[in-house]
Amino acid sequence: MASTLPDSHAGAVNAMLSSLAEVETLLEPLFATSTSLNETLAKLDTEKRCQLELMVAYAINTLAFVNLKTNGVAPNTHPVMKELARIKNYTAKIKAATTVSKPSMSVDTDAADRFIRSALAHNVIADKKEAAAKNEGSNDNGGSDQEEAAAKNAKRSAPSPGNATQRQRTVSSSSSSSATTSTDGPRKKTKSKK
């Protein structure tokens, strides 16, 4: 064979033949008998079995590609290219499935806000229903129960210590409005005619 090839190509052909011999020795245990591959696959776990099946498919399709190339056929239009692309896709999927990704330690603030608002809204509704139920019950029992319910409602409506800024705003707005009324005199509300 070397006698018909130019000397510049003889080295490349010899390298290819030695590589093919290595591939043949590596694949030989898998194809020694008709059940060798199945026996080997049965012994492996799922991840290794997928990797072995991909390796065999890649080896076979690569050999078909090399065969087409050496025979002068353009492999770009041959179905072997679709198979090689499919194998590459599956290799990426297996790699993504087997690599362990680190969990993200970030908090979705939008979702947290929605949860908190929803919980607070449910609490307000439940408090209103509870107060209405107590008011209805106190109307039936007499005046002393009404006074107790009014005292409880007053406690609920009292500002909490956490709302100090809101209390400051209320105090400052009421003091500024009283200051304007004292200098300007009482304000009269006028009705506009339409």
Q: Quick one: 54 and 128 in the same domain?
A: no
Q: How many domains does the chain have?
A: 2
Angle at 2 between CA 58 and CA 75, to 5 degrees: 30
Question: Domain containing 52: what range?
Answer: 12-98
- Please indicate whether residue 25 or residue 155 has the higher confidence score (pLDDT): 25
4 domain residue, yes or no: no
**Per-residue DSSP letters for 83-147?**
HHHHHHHHHHHHHHHHSPPPPP----HHHHHHHHHHHHHHHHHHHHHHHHHHHHHHHHH-HHHHH
Q: Quick one: 134 and 90 in the same domain?
A: no
114 domain residue, yes or no: no
pTM of the model: 0.45
190 domain residue, yes or no: no
Q: Quick one: 91 and 138 in the same domain?
A: no
pLDDT in tens, 130-161: 888 888 766 555 455 556 666 566 555 544 54
34 domain residue, yes or no: yes
Q: Quick one: 87 and 42 in the same domain?
A: yes
30 domain residue, yes or no: yes
